[in-house]
Amino acid sequence: MSDWINVAKVGEIAPGDHRLVDADGTQIAIFNLGGEHYAIEDVCTHDGGELAGGCVMGDEIECVRHGARFNIRTGAVTAPPAYEPVAKFPIRIENGVVQVRDDRWD
Ligand code: FES
């Protein structure tokens, strides 16, 4: 479990853009999709590629290494060669600041 981590002030991440944070050693990518923020682990479940640098197409991101796709809102795989979902994390807004935390070990 990690505490809530400040990501950015609301409005600092433009729609379609993202920000990376380190949550106790876990790299988390926070995306703004149409004004809503979503957080997934920045690690492709196929072979460990960094996802955040990939191309965002609608709600999906494509891994630059071999082309697997994931739904940014849910973490679900939408195209192989990955078959396992990527971890997703909760987001909250506190006093105008976007925050994320790793809740996997609660
Ligand atoms: S590491 Fe992402 S598709 Fe292979």
Model confidence pLDDT, tens digit, residues 78-87: 999 999 999 9
CA–CA separation, 30 vs 40, rounded Å?
Answer: 7
The set of protein residues with a Cβ atom below 6 angstroms from ligand 1 is 44, 46-49, 63, 65-68, 81-82
Q: Give residue-wise pLDDT tens across range 87-102.
A: 999 999 999 999 999 9
Q: Do you know the residue count of the chain?
A: 106
Query: What confidence tier does 1 reach under pLDDT thresholds 50, 70, 90?
Result: low
Q: Whole-prediction pTM value?
A: 0.94
Q: Give residue-wise pLDDT tens across range 40-89.
A: 999 999 999 999 989 999 999 999 999 999 999 999 999 999 999 999 99
Mutation to probe ligand 1, out of 41, 45, 46 (largest number of atoms < 8 A from CB): 46
Domains of the chain: 15-89 (2.102.10.10)
Tell me the CA–centroid distance for residue 80 and ligand 1, in Å.
Answer: 9
CA–CA separation, 95 vs 82, rounded Å?
Answer: 37
